[in-house]
Structures are given as C-alpha cells and as structure tokens.
Amino acid sequence: MVYEVVTTMDGPEILRRAKRFFAERVPLNAAYPEREGPSYLTLRGQGGEEIAFAVWATSAGTRVRVSTLFFDQVVDRFLSTLPLPSEHVA
C-alpha cells in the first residue's frame, strides 16, 4: 500500500525519525535501514519485507510518500506522529 502526507517537518528529520521509530518503537515489527540518501530511505524488516520512504519539499510543506506490503499499521502510526500543516481558514 502507498501512503502520502504533507508535514511541516523537513525531509532529513522525517527520515531520521523513521529510522529510530522503526528500530525502537515497534519491537515485534522492527525494520532497519538498508539504503538511504537525502530524500529517500529503504528499511528492511521481518521476512525481508520493505518499507520505502521518499520525501520532497513542496509549497505546502514536505510531502512524504511511503510504500509497504507488510507494515501498514506501523507506517500509519508513524505518519500520525508527523506535524500537519495548519488548516487555512477562508
């Protein structure tokens, strides 16, 4: 499944938080860095399952796209910890 959110946090901080979150906060479903760069991170977990992150700046904030086949609940939980941009009141 593919998840996508926009946050006020910058890309490198999101990727740092993801590495820590998936290594420490979910011991039964831990995943560890396999490949990474300034705008992407691939984690490998139980049974070789993958979590792939991509981050890039937009005018609305930092867009985060995450794909996984096994870690849906944990990815959703991680994304819920990111600060969302303020709602604009018309």
- Look at residue 9 and tell me if it is in a domain: yes
- Look at residue 90 and tell me if it is in a domain: no
Q: Give pairs for 44-50: CB < 8 Å, separation 24+.
A: 45/70, 45/71, 46/70
CATH of the domain at 28: 3.30.310.80
The whole-number mean pLDDT for each consecutive block of 10 residues of the chain, a chain of 90 residues, reads: 97 97 88 97 92 97 96 95 73
- Look at residue 84 and tell me if it is in a domain: no
Instruction: Look up the domain containing 64 and give its range.
Output: 2-79
Q: What is the pTM of this model?
A: 0.89
Which letter does DSSP use for residue 69 in this model? S
pLDDT of res. 38: 96
- Look at residue 89 and tell me if it is in a domain: no
